[in-house]
Amino acid sequence: MRAIIFSWEYPPRVVGQLSGYISAMSTQLAQNKVEVNIVTYDDSATGQTTEPSGVKTFRVANPVRNHIGVLTWVLTLNQEIERAAADIYYESNKQVDLIDVHDWHFIPAAVTLKNGLGIPFIFSVESLEDQRSPNANASYNMAIKSIEWLGFYEAKRISVKSEWMKDEVNRIYKVPKEKITVISTDPSVWIEEILKLYGSMAEAEE
Amino acid sequence: MKDKLTVMMLSWEYPPRVIGGISPHIYFLSKHLAKQGVKVYVVTCDFPGAPAHEVIDDVEIYRIDSYKNPSPDFATWVYLMNMNMQRETAALTRKIADKIDVFHAHDWLVANAGIGLKHVFRKPLLVTMHSTELGRRDGLHSATEKMIHETEAWLTYEAWKVICCSDYMISHVKYAYGLPSDKLVMVPNGVNIYNYYVNGDFREFRSKFALPEEKIVLFVGRLVYEKGIHVLINAVPKILSKVNAKFIIVGSGYMKEQLLNIVRSMGLEHKVLFEGFMDEPTLLKLQQVADVSVVPSLFEPFGIVALEAMAARSPVVASDTGGLSEIIEHDVTGVKVYPNNPDSLAWGISKVLLDANYARYIKENAYRRVQEKYDWEKIAKQTKSIYEGVLGEYHKSFWAKAT
């Protein structure tokens, strides 16, 4: 199985806890015969590496340096994320089973790749704009919410880390609960649950 | 290789959505490419009342959801709109039976979509740069302007070829983004001469604007600094000292009040008429009765308004700057004057008004030049051959083999 993981943080870039989570997850996935390709952002250390675990990383920088906000910064960076993923797709003979997108930042790239190349994606939710900025309805917050909504609409599956978050996604975005998988935080079972989720994506494609 | 070349045009405007010059440009270019046997798809922003899909002159038009939530500002909206444009265009490209050969993006307004689609489908991207942020703002003064400039640079970097509408724009774009010369191609803008063929007796129409003994001097353009309208106003007394004339100003803009005050202080309100925005049929008639059309611009990437006057068989006096320098051949297809120089402008206008034979000579030459050089059929043929050249190079690349 070949998976591409989108995350805006991956070691050595650490913004919050997502970075460490994805590092641990991808190492374990590699041990379980998943070819993992991490596509992430780094301002200067761009390019491709292969880690001892076998995980491949692709770091891209923002093609536009001057920005007026997080939204424009994210939206130009998405093109480079999209380019890196398309390159993986063509260089692996068009055999990519899924994209796993963590949080809203790279939803636009995943949506284009799904519509253009037929690669299904999982929207893995760490947190939501409505929780980060409660009751904020400025056009800036609404734009981020609209990108989250697009992600829920276009994703084949949604993964969350708790029953509470499952209810939140259902409450805020009216996503059917059948579309949402809760991944346990119990270290003895979590990777099996992720493998099962990834496996269901590949099966559904056939 | 399949027999029919297929192009996907990306543009933020297409009729009935008309904001600037890109909309008519895409309309005529696509229509005439289709006549040359090119299959053209146009993806553009939606517009109230316009269908999501229609076929116009054998061109497939698709209007996408242009992102209608409130946006923090115009530039952020552009990037959000591009997100939607990419999504819908990607789905369309995958769905349609025709295989897209080339993506053709127009200006930074569709940069993200063009660049994204290029990499997702591994097809060549062509770009037409109609204008630049550097030229529009005369420098880069804010984060927004720098961001847009960088987006333009990125778009031209990703493009296989960059098309500009004048030699002036070629050198400007080359300097602005540091592009190699062999990446740039000049294809002029076009004008549809049949639009300007108006016949009839316009004496009564003319009498609404001027007395029979008054010559008509026509200015068409936005009343903004870069269009040089203030230079014309300053030339008015100098012209009136030699020839009796009426000055008709069509268009509006932030300089209107200021210009009105200058005219009032000169005591020439009866000689200078500010008509504001004018509908096209009226403007066409006005161009027929005008004795001279004046284009006194200080900055002009192309100068379509000069071409339109030439197509309407109105003699043209224009500043020797930007694209105008190339459109007008002095003493042959018009009169060129020094930019930002009322004396020079007054000299040029008086010369045309006082010598009827000269005026006839330059306007007939100008009309022929428009037919020869700025004809959409020729422009479409040139554009098609650029597509073919790019595809020839593309088919030797590893991208062609990998897809």
Task: Give the per-residue pLDDT at A68.
Answer: 97
Task: Give the per-residue pLDDT at B100.
Answer: 96
At B318-366, the pLDDT tens digits run: 999 999 999 999 999 999 999 999 999 999 999 999 999 999 999 999 9
User: CB A139 to CB B70 under 8 A?
Assistant: yes
B60 CB-near residues (< 8 Å, 6+ apart): B39, B40, B41, B42, B53
Least confident among B67-76, B209-218, B242-251: B67-76
- Cβ-Cβ contacts under 8 Å, A116 against chain B: 90-91, 93-94, 117, 120-121
- Cβ-Cβ contacts under 8 Å, A147 against chain B: 83
Q: How confident is the model at residue B21 (pLDDT cuts 50, 70, 90)?
A: confident
Taking the CA of residue A177 and the nearest CA in chain B, the distance in Å comes to: 25
Q: Is the pLDDT of residue B69 over 90?
A: no
Task: Give the per-residue pLDDT at A166.
Answer: 98
* Cβ-contact B48, B56 below 8 angstroms: no
d(CA B173, CA B164): 8
DSSP H stretches of helix in chain A: 18-31, 70-91, 107-117, 129-132, 139-154, 163-173, 190-205
Q: Exposure pattern of B2-37 as b/e (b: 16+ CB <10 Å)? A: eeebbbbbbbbbbeebeeebbbbbbbbbbbbbbeee
Indicate the average pLDDT of chain A. Answer: 95
Percentage of chain B exceeding pLDDT 70: 99
At B207-226, the pLDDT tens digits run: 999 999 999 999 999 898 88
Q: Is the pLDDT of residue B22 over 70?
A: yes
What angle, rounded to 10 degrees, do the helices at B356-373 and B342-354 form? 100
For testing contact with chain A, the best of B84, B120, B150, B397 (most A CBs within 10 A): B120
* Cβ-contact B62, B88 below 8 angstroms: yes
- Cβ-Cβ contacts under 8 Å, A86 against chain B: 119-120, 122
Task: Give the per-residue pLDDT at A205.
Answer: 45
Q: In chain A, which residue's Cα lies nearest the Cα of B144? A: A68
What's the predicted TM-score (pTM) here? 0.90
Instruction: Enumerate the domain spans of chain B.
Output: 6-190+375-402, 193-373
Helix/strand/coil for B322: coil
Spell out, as residue ranges, where chain A has pLDDT lower than 70. 202-206
Q: How confident is the model at residue B2 (pLDDT cuts 50, 70, 90)?
A: low
For testing contact with chain A, the best of B43, B66, B79, B156 (most A CBs within 10 A): B79
For testing contact with chain B, the best of A58, A71, A72 (most B CBs within 10 A): A72
Task: Give the per-residue pLDDT at A206.
Answer: 41
CA distances from B88 to A181, B82, B355 (A): 28, 10, 58
Which class is domain B6-190+375-402? alpha beta
The answer to whether the complex's ipTM is over 0.85 is: yes
Domains and their CATH numbers in chain A: 2-205 (3.40.50.2000)
The answer to whether the peptide bond before residue B315 is cis (omega within 30 degrees of 0) is no
Q: How confident is the model at residue B301 (pLDDT cuts 50, 70, 90)?
A: confident
Q: What CATH architecture is B193-373?
A: 3-Layer(aba) Sandwich (3.40)
Q: Is the pLDDT of residue B196 over 90?
A: no
The residue among A8, A119, A124 whose CA lies nearest residue A59 is A8
Output the six-digit token pair for B314: 């109105």
Taking the CA of residue B177 and the nearest CA in chain A, the distance in Å comes to: 13
Q: In chain B, which residue's Cα lies nearest the Cα of A108? A: B83
- Cβ-Cβ contacts under 8 Å, B71 against chain A: 139, 143
B6-190+375-402 and B193-373: same fold? yes
Which burial class, exposed, middle or buried, applies to B394 when counting CB atoms under 10 A from its CB (0-12, 13-18, 19+)? middle
B55 CB-near residues (< 8 Å, 6+ apart): B61
d(CA A134, CA A3): 33
The residue among B216, B207, B375 whose CA lies nearest residue B290 is B216
